[in-house]
Copies of this chain bind each other. A is one copy, B any other.
Amino acid sequence: MKNRTFIIAVALCAGIFFATSFANAGKLLEEAKENFAPLPKAPVEKASNKLNEEKVELGKMLYFEHRLSKSSLISCNTCHNLAGSATDNLETSVGHKWQKGPRNAPTVWNAALHLAQFWDGRAEDVEAQAQGPVLAGVEMAATQDLVLQRLKSIPEYVDRFTKAFPGDNSLTYTHMADAIGAFERTLLTPSPFDAFLGGDKKALSDDEKKGLKLFMDKGCVGCHNGVAVGGNSYMTFGVENPYKNQKDVGRFNVTKDEADKYSFKVPSLRNIELTYPYFHDGKVWELEEAIGIMGWTQLGVKLSDKEIGSIAKFLGSLTGTIQVELPNLPPSTASTPKPLLDVK
């Protein structure tokens, strides 16, 4: 009898606990839905760059196409490596002739969802972005002429551009970038947090839920919100306290507006645990340190180690990788311009 009472009591307690836990999870979910949105089910198109299968496949080939670089050694995938984080996990990237670039390479996963591209937002979308690194002297160091000569010398590309961009002038530099952008728009990585936002309250662990609550309560969500958990605004790095290594004037270079000095696009936090090192300069390797710096520079609060750990737990729920199959790139022909390594 005693036993039975005990069991009933335990069952009641458990019932109350679970009910409370569920009610809280429900409230948390509601609050989360006010601040965030799950990944779209399908890629978001650009009106002037409608997606089709041929274009996306061509874009994938071009993404891995090392012949878009002067050396024929560097492709988009060199610095935005899809075998992992879609970054190079370097402080700043290394390009043509082993030159070091000025800023950290952001991940391409979900990048199409940002309000603009590059740390300073100087390209309006992934299509515009893809035109940049191919020509940048410290990156792929090519010229439009070289790239077009290479692509036009390869019959399979001529054919694929014609199919992806029907019309008179299919194989252009802009279309090259449009195809790459089209492929990048498909690189969406659903995570446990998306399942949670979709209504699956068990998709996050209790620790992750606590971290999410703290992330919202502390004000991180002020900038890191929306579908990409960031990526939808610009913000001065050092609103409350200066960043230790503040040299780069950021978006000021684009707008020449004093108010934009040291301002950068707020990074998306999707897959953030994979995309170290952090910040535009890649000077911070640990996620925990980055969270602490953010609290201090942007919110003016000294987060405790426990709070930092809890927020990091939540950020882990934003990780979601997908499998990518390598394309088979078509061979060069006798008229394909040769690699130019610029070495003796």
Asked if B338 contacts A84 (CB within 8 A), the reply is: no
Q: What class of interface size applies to chain A in its complex with B? A: 35 or more
Which residue of the partner chain B has the closest CB to A93? Answer: B73
User: A325 and B324: CB pair below 8 A?
Assistant: yes
What's the nearest-Cβ distance from chain B to residue A47, in Å? 31
Q: B100 and A341: CB pair below 8 A?
A: yes
A330 nearest CB neighbor, chain B only:
B84
Inter-chain contacts of A318 with B (CB < 8 A):
none
Cβ of B274 and Cβ of A331 under 8 Å apart? yes
| A132 in contact (CB, < 8 A) | no
A327 to B, closest residue via Cβ: B83
- Chain B residues whose CB sits within 8 angstroms of the CB of A334 once the complex forms: 285-286
Contact in complex: A98, B343 (CB < 8 Å): yes
- Given A285-B338, A286-B334, decide whether A90 and B64 contact each other with a Cβ distance below 8 A: no
| Complex A-B: 7 CB contacts under 8 Å | A90-B341, A97-B98, A98-B98, A100-B343, A276-B332, A321-B328, A326-B326
B-side contacts of A331, CB under 8 Å: 84-85, 273-274, 276
Q: Bound complex: CA of A71 vs CA of B72, how far in Å? A: 20
> Which one, B88, B89, B323, B343, contacts A326 given CB within 8 A?
B323
A 260-274 to B, binary, CB cutoff 8 A, 1 in contact else 0? 000000000000011
A171 within 8 A of B: no
A59 to B90, CA, bound (A): 23
- A85 to B273 CA separation, bound complex (whole angstroms): 33
B71 with A328: CB separation less than 8 A: no
CA distance in complex: A83, B334 (Å):
20
User: How distant is the Cα of A216 from the Cα of B89 in the complex, in angstroms?
Assistant: 51
**B100, A88: Cβ atoms closer than 8 Å:** no
CB of A144 to closest CB in B, whole Å: 22
In the assembled complex, A313 has its CB within 8 A of some CB on chain B: no
CA distance A273 to B73 in the complex (A): 19
CA distance A328 to B322 in the complex (A): 8
Minimum CB–CB distance from A327 to chain B (whole Å) comes to: 6
List 8 additional A-B contacts (Cβ < 8 Å) besides A73-B78, A84-B328, A323-B328.
A66-B88, A73-B90, A85-B331, A89-B339, A91-B339, A94-B341, A286-B334, A325-B325
Given contacts A89-B339, A98-B343, A339-B89, contact A84 B329 (CB under 8 A): yes
Of A83, A331, A334, the most chain B CB neighbours within 10 A belong to: A83
